[in-house]
Structure 1
Amino acid sequence: MNAGGTDIRIRPATPQDQAAIWEILEPVYRAGETYCIPPDISRDEALADWFAAPFTVFVAEHDGQILGTSHVGRNRPGPAAHVANASFATHARTRGRGIAQALVTHAKGWARDQGFRAMQFNFVVATNADAVHSWQKAGFDIVGRLPAAFLHPQHGYVDALVMFHDLTKEDRHDPGP
């Protein structure tokens, strides 16, 4: 996959990738601006959460360096098990280089291949403009707004968005956004 002129390889994560994944997740979690994760979460707790079932973890790498990570799996069990969910994080030094775009394109394709019919993001912090823009560019619609649902460390209580994408209405050969 080519992102921003760089060949990016997305592959399933292995236990050996945990240090690199933590290097990506730690500053994001510590900032407390985008995830419903305690900012003081421990490394072990964070990685256990990121790797928890029903999710499959992936990494985006270039020249052997891990630049981003995702985890993709079912959003809810039972009658809703056909809807996938995913989370993404990129290394701060690689933002703006198409890594998140490559990860979301991969996640959508992987989810389709696993038989998912849709993908939903349950809680996108509305002040995370880069993510909102990226997910809309990738075909996600804002289908709900949760007023003042997230306590942002700088902005106080801000809205969270529910975003949704119907994977059945997409060409299986679509190269992505």
Structure 2
Amino acid sequence: MTIRPSTSMDADAVWKILEPTIRAGETYTLPRDFTRQQSLEYWYAPHHDTFVAEENGEILGAYYLRANQQGGGSHVANCGYMTAPWATGRGIAGAMCAHSLDRARERGFRAMQFNIVISTNEVAVRLWQKFGFEIVGRLPKAFNHPKQGYVDAFVMHRQL
């Protein structure tokens, strides 16, 4: 598997990954009715560095890297990751996380923070913990899960 910077030529493949996750509404705070254009504008925002995980010419995952905040908080990175539904369980998210930590260090970030990790997304919580992220905050009932109602969300953080 190769992880490389994403280009506009990847948009169709990235949309095939984003759409089912956004529509499900279980792990991201993006509106479930986001259009293709809105989703891609969010993912490829000018302040995002975007990457794709590719194997044998097929894009299996995508992530963005950005500063979590501006000004005095700009030394902390933030990322968003999505794996193709047909590629889960193959280590794609872990490979993208490892790649993003390296890129963040290269860019001079001193830490990485995930602002809202949905508590019911147990696979992601365990994976981020495996990579050294700690739950530093619990946001009670901060996410309206489409199947489980209001659930907690975590703030997860690690030093680089």
Give the corresponding residue for 1:175.
none
Paired residues for 1:54-65 under 5 Å: 54-65=47-58
Runs (5+) with no aligned partner, structure 1: 1-7, 168-177
Give the corresponding residue for 1:51.
44
Match of 1:39 among 7, 26, 32: 32
Paired AA for residue 15 in structure 1: S
Give the corresponding residue for 2:87.
94
Q: Percent identity?
A: 52
CA distance in 2, matches of 1:123, 1:52: 19
Paired AA for residue 2 in structure 2: R
More deviation in 52-61 or 117-126?
Answer: 52-61
Q: Does 1:81 align with 2:78?
A: no
CA distance in 1, matches of 2:8, 2:47: 17
| Secondary structure in structure 2 of the residue aligned to 1:73 | strand
Match of 2:20 among 16, 27, 31: 27
1:98-144 per-position Cα deviation (integer Å, ceiling 9, x unaligned): 00000000000000000000000000000001110110011100000
The TM-score normalised by the length of structure 2 is 0.99
1:54 shift after superposition: 1.6
Please list every run of at least 4 consecutive aligned residues from structure 1 whose deviation after the TM superposition is greater than 3 angstroms: none
Match of 1:137 among 127, 130, 133: 130
The TM-score normalised by the length of structure 1 is 0.90
Give the corresponding residue for 1:121.
114
Q: How many residues align?
A: 160
Q: Does 1:71 align with 2:64?
A: yes
Cα RMSD, aligned residues only: 0.5
